[in-house]
């Protein structure tokens, strides 16, 4: 069964359709990429998948998250569903983090919610231990210092690692990562990508990886859906979309990525 099953999703604001009749499914354990240029509707699709659309945007169609309808669902039902099913990591880690709360406590919060959800007794020491384990799992150095630091006291890459640890704390079946490396420098991008890839492999969780950057997506997913101006123009296995793009728009994405690679090669 698909963990995420989007069918005929249309997102409107006023009279304008921002996403039109989009269908996409991510099976348990699968890794799907969603690519498209800036403004093509990727982030709105991600938000619709977890029922977090801005108030001025209306959704039509169906989004099933682990078999439960998200479109039109009550917020209280969505909160439970999000925690149990879908973890999210966004472009800018600062939006996920509370600037006034120490890192350790921020990672502990979703842990406490998960313990409650699972109905277990709340053992503060177990929470503390698991918080440290999570910080280790995302390969943060000097755990004691970082757990005790505020977000502004650590680097951008470290903040994204903390945001990933928070998403993992819920033990989601699906991780939705919306441009998780876009705000980072190139070296850090590669490290975070490798980390996400390792974590997904280890845990077997499904992944919806969103990016405007084709070569990045190709490193981590098996299948891609290509979005242009709110419409799906192509989908398929990464290799075939890359090597023989069917749609002209995808061809321009591939050509742009190749030109970028060449420019980098020339600079070396």
Ligand X SMILES: Nc1ncnc2c1ncn2[C@@H]1O[C@H](COP(=O)(O)OP(=O)(O)O)[C@@H](O)[C@H]1O
Q: Which residues bind ligand X (CB under 6 A)?
A: 13, 18, 36, 38-44, 54, 56-57
Please choose, from the candidates 35, 16, 3, the residue with its C-alpha nearest in 3D space to the C-alpha of residue 172. Answer: 3
- Among residues 87 and 110, whose Cβ is nearest to Mg ion? 87
Which residue lies nearer to Mg ion by CB, 9 or 135? Answer: 9
The β-bridge relationship of strands 223-228 and 31-35 is parallel
88 or 106: whose CB is closer to Mg ion?
A: 88
- Residue 182: which of ligand X, Mg ion, none does it interact with, CB under 5 to 8 A by kind? none
For ligand X, give the closer residue by CB, 35 or 134.
35
Smallest separation (angstroms) from Mg ion to the CB of 41: 9
Handedness of CA 58, 63, 65, 67 (dihedral sign): positive
Element (H, E) at 97: none
Q: Which does 119 bind (CB under 5 to 8 A by kind): Mg ion, ligand X, none?
A: none
Minimum Å gap between C-beta 182 and Mg ion is 8
What is the nearest approach in angstroms of ligand X to the Cβ of residue 126? 38
The full DSSP string for 103-144 is HHHHHHHHHHHHHHHTT----HHHHHHHHHHHHHHTT-SSHH
Q: What is the CA radius of gyration of the chain?
A: 19
Least distance in angstroms from the C-beta of 40 to ligand X: 4
- Minimum distance from CB of 56 to ligand X (Å)? 5
How far apart (Å, rounded) are the C-alpha atoms in residues 227 and 210?
10
Site track for Mg ion across 25-44, x = CB under 5 A:
-----------------xx-
Which CB sits closer to ligand X, 15 or 266? 15
Contact between residue 14 and residue 38 where contact means Cβ atoms under 8 Å apart: no
Query: Could you say whether residue 182 binds Mg ion (CB under 5 A)?
Result: no
CA distance 127 to 111: 7
Minimum distance, C-beta of residue 35 to ligand X, in the bound complex (Å): 9
Question: Closest CB to Mg ion among 43 and 139?
Answer: 43
Per-residue b or e along 119-133, where b marks 16 or more CB atoms closer than 10 Å to that residue's CB: eeeeeeeebeebbbe
Phi-psi region of 149 (alpha: psi -120 to 50; beta: other; left: phi over 0): beta
Residue 141: name its binding partner from ligand X, Mg ion, none (Cβ under 5 to 8 Å by kind): none
């Amino acid at each position: 069964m698909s963990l995420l099953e989007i069918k005929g999703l249309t997102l409107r604001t006023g009279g304008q359709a921002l996403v039109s009749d989009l269908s996409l499914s991510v099976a348990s354990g699968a890794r799907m990429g969603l690519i498209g240029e800036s403004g093509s509707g990727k982030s709105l699709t991600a938000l619709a998948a977890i029922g977090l659309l801005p108030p001025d945007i209306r959704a039509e169609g169906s989004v099933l998250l682990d078999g439960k309808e998200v479109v039109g669902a009550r917020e209280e039902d969505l909160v439970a569903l999000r925690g149990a099913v879908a973890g999210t990591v966004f472009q800018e880690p600062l939006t996920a983090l509370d600037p006034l709360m120490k890192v350790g406590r921020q990672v502990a919060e979703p842990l406490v919610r998960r313990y409650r959800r699972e109905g277990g007794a709340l053992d503060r020491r177990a929470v503390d231990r698991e918080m440290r384990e999570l910080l280790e799992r995302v390969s943060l150095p000097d755990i004691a210092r970082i757990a005790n630091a505020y977000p502004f006291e650590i680097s951008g890459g470290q903040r994204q690692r903390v945001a990933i640890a928070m998403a993992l704390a819920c033990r989601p079946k699906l991780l939705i990562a919306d441009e998780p490396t876009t705000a980072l420098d190139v070296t850090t991008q590669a490290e975070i990508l490798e980390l996400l890839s390792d974590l997904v492999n280890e845990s077997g969780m499904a992944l919806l990886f969103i990016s405007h950057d084709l070569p990045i997506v190709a490193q981590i997913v098996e299948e891609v859906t290509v979005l242009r101006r709110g419409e799906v123009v192509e989908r398929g296995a990464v290799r075939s979309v890359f090597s023989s793009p069917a749609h002209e728009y995808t061809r321009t994405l591939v050509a742009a990525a190749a030109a970028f690679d060449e420019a980098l090669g020339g600079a070396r």
